[in-house]
RNA sequence: GCUCCCAUCGUCUAGCGGUAAGGACCCAAGGUUUUCAACCUUGUAACCGGAGUUCGACUCUCCGUGGGAGCACCA
């Protein structure tokens, strides 16, 4: 086999996720240890959710961490383009080839019809065989040319068994009959993940797919596509998931998941990578602190752990502290502080908010400390408006989180609208919404203007403060959360 | 519900048939320090259960149990 080639294939549909960095880290560590190469490919096949600014944030977050790739949309390479939205002709070509060969078929069933069909199905029914009639009709080509819209589905075998070989878990058997006829080409002409990943990995020469465990169950589909296209499949390695404290898949509902949050909160790149590595890779002996290079030097894919890991902020903080006191000269630390938030750009955002409320220059820092703090400590009383119940305050804060998350652009005007929306929803005077928010955001019910402060704090830090306040108030039960969400939408 | 994955202290882990089951985070106590932090010492705390295999199982096999993931015109 030629040189090892791996890829990082993130989807630009939201804030840069620590899980993306975690998977990327293992891919790169493996490639470097093997002397292979790393491709960064943008999986932007979801037109409704993919955004260019998400891609930009993602790349800069990965670069901030010190992660680097050999080929990608920003550096180019022999397999360009590296953005799936720019490779549509390839996917269509192979989708048609699969149809010609009888491995895939056109389907004209609308999403509405599909939904109705699904809801009619009983519990004990056989696997979701879609569009049975269309599947067996081979003459739909003509109809596809005139139809308003259609999709192309894989034709999964209705019997037989296959095997996924995972380099860590060994052979994983599966029955074709339990797998549905997955859509591979959507009605907008874009491929789904399954087709795109197979076509691109093959065309780009990727021979090792190292991805999250959530992909195991769709690997059979990928394997079948390789077979039908007459290509050699890569070697698969599925990494364990990063978990919330309750052991569910890590989500921003329970944890800060954005790399930007950690950066904003004052974590350094090296300990971040070190900690992420620790999530699935044992340390060398008893020293848990190691550099990326040290990891590469002793990297053995086979030593990766299988159980999911709870992301522990306490331990990350401890490790970060060790880097600060052990690896940085005072000058270097000063430099880190400056490139973090102690710079003109950031502080100048605070000046207009503070000019009217600082009798002396010395009042500035104490009153703006919350802009820099990792967390604040609001009191219970300040979080609950007079005459209201704590449970309602929690609910209100939750709706504030939802309202803020949807904002685009992230501006004072929009934040004001969001807060009004929350007040309307609860039929509360605006003050009953802003006072708890002041406390949650700043740690006290008074301070610089709320909306502009939230602007400076950015979405991830704001959310984490609101979430922390909710936890302080006792949180929200799963049931109540669901009911509230339904009402909110 | 169906399919699959996983299983050592609360958390991250070492262990690869014979160990007093080791380390780290967290927590507690003590020490050091003008304070705090850091540092040092000590302590609390784990092999999910049941059958096998074996002279001997945390370790191998099977069955349970528990947890997780997937089952979209999202990735």
Which nucleotide has the shortest C1'-to-CA distance from A306? B6
| Token reading at A27 | 């891919």
3-state secondary structure A333-376: HHHHHHHHCCCHHHHHHHHHHHHHHCCCHHHHHHHHHHHHCCCC
Strand B contact with A321 (CB < 7 A): yes
CA A262 / C1′ B73 distance in Å: 35
Strand B contact with A9 (CB < 7 A): yes
Domain positions in chain A are 5-73+242-325, 87-233, 380-488
Does pLDDT of A82 surpass 90? yes
Strand B contact with A253 (CB < 7 A): no
A291 φ, ψ (degrees, to nearest 5) = -85, 165
How much is the pLDDT for A133?
Answer: 66
How much is the pLDDT for A123?
Answer: 44
How much is the pLDDT for A124?
Answer: 44
Mean pLDDT of A442-471: 95
How much is the pLDDT for A408?
Answer: 83
A174 φ, ψ (degrees, to nearest 5) = -155, 155
CA A123 / C1′ B1 distance in Å: 5
Looking at strand B, which nucleotides approach a protein CB closer than 7 A?
1-8, 10-15, 22-26, 38-39, 67-75
Which residue approaches B7 most closely, CA to C1'? Answer: A307
Within 10 angstroms of residue A172's Cβ, the number of other Cβ atoms is 16
Mean pLDDT of A319-347: 97
Strand B contact with A192 (CB < 7 A): yes
pLDDT above 90 covers what percent of chain A?
A: 84
Does pLDDT of A39 surpass 90? yes
Which nucleotide has the shortest C1'-to-CA distance from A186? B73
CB A398 within 8 A of CB A476: yes
CA A322 / C1′ B39 distance in Å: 12
CATH topology of domain A380-488: Arc Repressor Mutant, subunit A (1.10.10)
Least confident range of A110-124, A181-195, A372-386, A421-435:
A110-124
ipTM above 0.90, yes or no: yes
Strand B contact with A320 (CB < 7 A): no
Mean pLDDT of A179-189: 93
Exposed, middle or buried: residue A473 (CB in 10 Å: 0-12, 13-18, 19+)?
A: buried
Strand B contact with A452 (CB < 7 A): no
CA A321 / C1′ B38 distance in Å: 10
Q: What is the DSSP string of A187-209?
A: TTSPBPHHHHHHHHHHHTT--EE
How far is residue A359 from each of residues A127, A313, A351, measured CA to CA in Å? 71, 38, 13
CA A311 / C1′ B7 distance in Å: 18
Tens digit of each residue's pLDDT (9 = 90 or more) over A111-154: 887 777 777 765 445 555 666 667 776 656 666 666 778 999 99
Strand B contact with A312 (CB < 7 A): yes
Q: Which of residues 336-375 of A touch strand B (CB under 7 A)?
A: none
Q: Catalytic pick from A155, A221, A252, A315? A: A252
Strand B contact with A315 (CB < 7 A): yes
CA A10 / C1′ B74 distance in Å: 12
Strand B contact with A288 (CB < 7 A): yes
Which nucleotide has the shortest C1'-to-CA distance from A197? B75
Mean pLDDT of A189-200: 98
Which nucleotide has the shortest C1'-to-CA distance from A115? B72
Tens digit of each residue's pLDDT (9 = 90 or more) over A20-35: 999 999 999 999 999 9
Does pLDDT of A419 surpass 50? yes
The answer to whether A252 is a known catalytic residue is yes
How much is the pLDDT for A113?
Answer: 79
| Token reading at A129 | 């065989």
Which residue approaches B3 most closely, CA to C1'? Answer: A178
Within 10 angstroms of residue A356's Cβ, the number of other Cβ atoms is 8
> Nearest-CA neighbor of A167 among A277, A302, A35?
A302
| Token reading at A459 | 């979405």
Strand B contact with A50 (CB < 7 A): no
pLDDT above 70 covers what percent of chain A?
A: 95
CA A267 / C1′ B33 distance in Å: 28
Strand B contact with A188 (CB < 7 A): yes
A5 φ, ψ (degrees, to nearest 5) = -135, 120
CA A468 / C1′ B54 distance in Å: 53
Average pLDDT over chain A, rounded to whole?
93
Strand B contact with A187 (CB < 7 A): yes
Does pLDDT of A300 surpass 90? yes
Which residue approaches B70 most closely, CA to C1'? Answer: A217
- Choosing among 3.40.50.620, 3.10.105.10, 3.10.50.40, 3.40.50.2300, the CATH entry for A5-73+242-325 is 3.40.50.620
Mean pLDDT of A359-363: 95
CA A172 / C1′ B20 distance in Å: 40
Mean pLDDT of A87-93: 97
Tens digit of each residue's pLDDT (9 = 90 or more) over A397-413: 999 999 999 898 999 99
Where in A181-333 does DSSP place strands (E)? 183-185, 208-212, 235-239, 242-243, 309-310
Strand B contact with A476 (CB < 7 A): no
CATH topology of domain A87-233: 3.90.800
Mean pLDDT of A205-217: 97
Residue A349: pLDDT band by 50, 70, 90 thresholds?
very high
Which nucleotide has the shortest C1'-to-CA distance from A281? B13
Strand B contact with A247 (CB < 7 A): yes
Tens digit of each residue's pLDDT (9 = 90 or more) over A242-278: 999 999 999 998 889 999 999 999 999 999 999 999 9
């Amino acid at each position: 086999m030629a040189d090892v080639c791996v890829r990082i294939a993130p989807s630009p549909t939201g804030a840069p996720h620590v899980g993306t960095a975690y998977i990327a880290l293992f891919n790169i560590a493996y490639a470097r240890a093997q002397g292979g190469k790393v491709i960064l490919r943008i999986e932007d096949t979801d037109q409704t959710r993919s955004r260019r600014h998400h891609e930009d944030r993602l790349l800069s977050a990965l670069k901030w961490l010190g992660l680097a790739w050999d080929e990608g949309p920003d550096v180019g390479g022999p397999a360009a383009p590296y953005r799936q939205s720019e490779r549509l002709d390839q996917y269509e070509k192979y989708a048609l080839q699969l149809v010609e060969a009888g491995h895939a078929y056109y389907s004209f069933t609308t999403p509405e019809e599909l939904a109705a069909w699904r809801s009619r199905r009983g519990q004990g029914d056989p696997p979701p065989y879609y569009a049975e009639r269309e599947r067996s009709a081979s003459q739909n080509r003509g109809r596809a040319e005139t139809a308003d819209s259609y999709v192309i589905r894989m034709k999964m075998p209705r019997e037989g068994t296959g095997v996924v070989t995972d380099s860590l878990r060994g052979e994983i058997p599966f029955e074709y009959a339990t797998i549905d006829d997955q859509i591979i080409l959507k009605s907008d002409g874009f491929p789904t993940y399954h087709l795109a990943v197979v076509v691109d990995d093959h065309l780009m020469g990727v021979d090792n797919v190292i991805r999250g465990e959530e992909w195991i169950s769709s690997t059979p589909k990928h394997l079948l596509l390789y077979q039908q296209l007459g290509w050699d499949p890569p070697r698969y390695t599925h990494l364990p998931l990063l978990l919330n404290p309750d052991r569910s898949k890590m989500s921003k509902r329970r944890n800060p998941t954005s790399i930007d949050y950690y950066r904003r909160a004052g974590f350094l790149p090296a300990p971040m990578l070190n900690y992420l590595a620790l999530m699935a890779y044992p340390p060398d002996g008893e020293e848990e602190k190691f550099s990326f290079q040290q990891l590469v030097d002793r990297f053995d894919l086979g030593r990766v752990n299988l159980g999911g890991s709870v992301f522990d902020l306490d331990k990350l903080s401890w490790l970060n502290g060790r880097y600060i006191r052990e690896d940085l000269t005072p000058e270097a630390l000063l430099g880190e502080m400056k490139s973090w938030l102690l710079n003109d750009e950031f502080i100048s955002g605070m000046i207009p908010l503070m000019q009217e409320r600082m009798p002396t220059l010395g009042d500035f820092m104490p009153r703006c400390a919350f802009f820099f703090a990792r967390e604040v400590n609001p009191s219970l009383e300040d979080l609950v408006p007079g005459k209201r119940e704590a449970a309602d305050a929690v609910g209100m804060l939750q709706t504030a989180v939802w309202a803020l998350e949807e904002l685009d652009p992230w501006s004072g005007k929009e934040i004001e609208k969001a807060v009004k929306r929350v007040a309307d929803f609860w039929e509360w005077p605006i003050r009953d919404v802003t006072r708890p928010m002041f406390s949650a955001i700043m740690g006290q019910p008074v301070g610089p203007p709320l909306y502009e402060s939230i602007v400076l704090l950015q979405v991830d830090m704001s959310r984490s403060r609101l979430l922390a306040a909710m936890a302080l108030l006792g949180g929200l039960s799963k049931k109540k959360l669901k009911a509230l969400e339904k009402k909110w939408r």
